[in-house]
Structure formats: structure tokens, C-alpha cells
Structure 1
Amino acid sequence: MSEARSKAGNRSSDTRERLIVAAEQLFGERGIHAVTLKEINAAAGQRNESALHYHFGSKKALIGSILRQRADVLDTRRSQLLDDLAASGEKPDLRGVVKIAFQPIFELLHTRDGVRFARFVAQVLGDPQFDLPRMTVWGRYDGLTRVNILLADYLNDLPPEVAEQRQRFMLEMAISALAIWTRRHDALKDVAAREFFTANLVDGLLGMLTAPVSAETEAALTPAVKSRGRKTDERKARAD
């Protein structure tokens, strides 16, 4: 009986993984809203059209499951990189922090799994149902939390609103650039081009984070902060 249950559990796990891979592939290629649950079931080889609903319940829950599963693996690697650095007694400079933030996905760009995830997460980034930057700032991911603490320390000379928005820019720019890179016909094979791309991307993100705050931005900051404060007060009033 226990052996039968074990086999059934393995089949269920295999089905779940096939659905995740199929959905990730289709979402990355065509976009979140252009793919139906029926198409995902078919791509995963599931003749039972209720398979996806059984395992995930909804498209939004499926997307959340993909994000968590992939992000858990990436963040474990990110934590390992930070632990190795801490063990050496070195503190990374700001460029090193930015590199560690994205190194786990850089390391997968030569694999079909990495390419598939980069394209998928770029589609999620553009979907208003998911605030991906906010999901990654202070969440369940220890490695990302540690990275954000280091970033906040290095950016503490910037106005808080500027630093916060630039951290969002960093994620949005990196994800978009990674997804575009994977469209190259030689993305999986050209090691030298890939290493140049990732190094230059880190440089670009660093430049964006550390750029001086212009007089124009400073002048626009106060009205923007006041506007956001009014909107927050209005939301609180409606909630009360």
C-alpha cells in the first residue's frame, strides 16, 4: 500500500513539474494573458483538462508557484555567495552587491531552464497583477533581503524615495535586458558574448544606482512625495 502511494505521489509530482515547465515556456513566449489553461495542459501532455486546476487552482496561483519554486533555488545560490564572501572576511563593494543579486540567474543563461525563466519573469514583470519589485524587496528570500540591506547601506546618501525607486529600476532593467538577451540566436552558445553582456549589465546598473541626483529630480521629488502621501491618507480614510 505504501509503495502504491509512493508511486502515485511521484506521478503527481511529475505532472506538477511538467505543467510548470509547459506554462513557463508558453508564458515566456507569448505572454501571460495570451495562453489558456487548456493550452498549458496540452503542452504538458495532460489529456485530463482539469489537471492544472487540480494542482494549482488558477492561472494566478500557477504563476505564483513558478515564481516561488524558481526563486527559492536562485536565492539559495545567492545566500551561498554571500556566505562565502562573509567567510572570507571581505565586504563587497556596491558593484559586488549588484553582481551577487543577479549572479544566480547569470549562471543559468547557458541553459534552457535559465532562458525559459528569464523570458517568463519578464512577462510577469509587465503584468499589473504582480508587483515583482515589491515582492522581492522584503520577502521570504534571505539572500535578497541581505542584498537589499547592503544596497540600502551604500545608497544611504540618496533621498530615500530616490534610492527606493532606483532599486526598482535595477530589477526592472536587469530582467528586461536578460529577456532580450535570450532572444539572440547564439544566446546559449556564445560564452564570450554572454560574459561581456553580464559584466556590462552590472556596470550599467551600478551607474544608474550611483548617478548624481539632478536639480530637476530634486525639484520634482517634493511634489511627488506630497502626492503619494495624500494618496496614502485617502486609502487609509477609505479603509476606516
Structure 2
Amino acid sequence: MARKHVVSPPTPVRLMDAAEALFAERGFDQASVRDILDRAHVANASAINYYFGGKEELFAAVGARLLGPVQAERLSRLDAAALLTESQRLEGIVAAYVDPLVALHYGPEAEAAQRFLAWLMADPARHADRVALQPVADVNERFVEALRLLYPAVDDADLRWGVAAAAALLIGWQLGLLDAPCTRGRLPQSAESAHLRQYIVNSFTALPRRS
């Protein structure tokens, strides 16, 4: 019987897999380039620089692989929310922000995303923070712009605070740091999304809408 030929993943994928695991286990500073290369079974010492540009850029690539689809889905749903009537739009904007992250939690990448977020929130040095989180900040700003159309009388700083508070709520839920009424996975996905959306909608409904 002929032996099956097992195709190894491409080198960049192996490096990201190894880095994702090591960053979660040890943190950014303690996961050395050599450790990542050894875990990925890559002999070329310059492979990380060649494929990614450096360790910080590799960290950003790991974050983009985990969170990029969430951010892309958020923007797609935000564009759809812009077509809703004004009375429906707040709920649509909040759903666009909440539902893709909840879907990640219920999907096959849930454990990896949770480990990555836990390290990101807990690491005291956070050397790669700006590299990894800039795309998240850019998406959050798009949500601020959408909310500005509903709340033209509200300062941008207050709208940004509202989006940041929503992000903090979702990260806390994702990491299991919040007590009830945030149930974190004990409800079906649709009910969990609705539960979280309602708390965020309530935080915005007291703001003055356009007359």
C-alpha cells in the first residue's frame, strides 16, 4: 500500500502557528525568534524577517489572522446598517459590532482568539500593542463616524468613549471576566448576541438624537 504524502503547510503559516502558540504561552518578550523558528521547524534564521519584516510584524500578522475576518465582517455589516431607517440604525450599528465577535467565540478559532486576547490584555510591556491594534482602532473609528450621523450633537470624544466601552465589554465577555448578566457561551449564539447588543444599545439611547 502506497504511503500518503503529507504536505507541510507553507512556511509563513507554520511561523504564524508557532508564534500564536508561543505568544499565548510565554508572552511577546519571552517568545524568542529562535523559539518560534524551532517550534515551526524552520531552519532559516532570517525567515521571520523575510516573510514578515520582524517579530512585531509577525505578532501583527497573527492578530490579523485571528481578528481580521471579524473586522471585515463588522465593516460589511456596518455598510448594510447605513441603509436602514434612522429608527433602526442604532440597533443595526450595534449588531454589526457585536455579532461577528460573538460568532468568533462560537467558531473553531475561539480558543486561539481567547488566548491571544488574554495575552494582549495581560502583558505588561505590550511592545507590539500599536502594531497589532491599529487596524482595530481604524475599524472603531468607522463606527464612530456612523454614530456621528445619528448623534450630531454629541462630541466625538463621547462617541469614541461609547465605542471603547462596547469594545471593553466584549473583550471582558470573551475572556470570561464578567459576571452575570453577561453569560459568555451559556446561551445559544443568537441569544448571546441579542443579550450583549441590548446592553450596548441601552448605553447609547440616552444620548440626544437629531431633532
**TM-score calculated relative to the size of structure 1:** 0.60
Q: What letter is aligned with 2:170? A: A
Deviations 1:136-157 (A, max 9, x none): 34x3x6xx66433222233444
Matched with 1:7 is none
Moved more, 149-158 or 77-86: 77-86
* Runs (5+) with no aligned partner, structure 1: 1-9, 182-186, 213-240
Matched with 1:173 is 169
Instruction: Tell me the C-alpha RMSD between the 2 structures.
Output: 3.7
How many pairs were matched up?
Answer: 191
Q: Secondary structure of 1:180's partner?
A: coil
Matched with 2:180 is none
Aligned-residue offset at 1:61: 1.1
Matched with 1:114 is 110
Matched with 1:205 is 200
% identical aligned pairs: 21
Q: What letter is aligned with 2:63? A: L
Aligned-residue offset at 1:80: 3.6
Which structure has the highest helix share of the two? 1
Aligned-residue offset at 1:14: 1.3
Partners in 2 of 1:207 and 1:128 — Cα distance? 35
Matched with 2:136 is 136
Partners in 1 of 2:18 and 2:62 — Cα distance? 11
Q: Secondary structure of 1:108's partner?
A: helix
Alignment counterpart, residue 147 of structure 1, candidates 135, 143, 150: 143
Are residues 1:77 and 2:73 paired? yes
**TM-score calculated relative to the size of structure 2:** 0.67
Q: What letter is aligned with 1:203? A: Q
Residue correspondence of structure 1 range 4-153 to structure 2 within 5 A: 14-84=10-80, 90=85, 92-125=88-121, 127=126, 129-131=128-130, 135-137=135-137, 139=138, 146-153=142-149
Larger radius of gyration: 1
Aligned-residue offset at 1:60: 1.0
User: For the Cα contact (< 8 Å) 2:74–2:100, is it kept in 1?
Assistant: yes
* Runs (5+) with no aligned partner, structure 2: 1-6, 178-182
Moved more, 99-108 or 63-72: 63-72
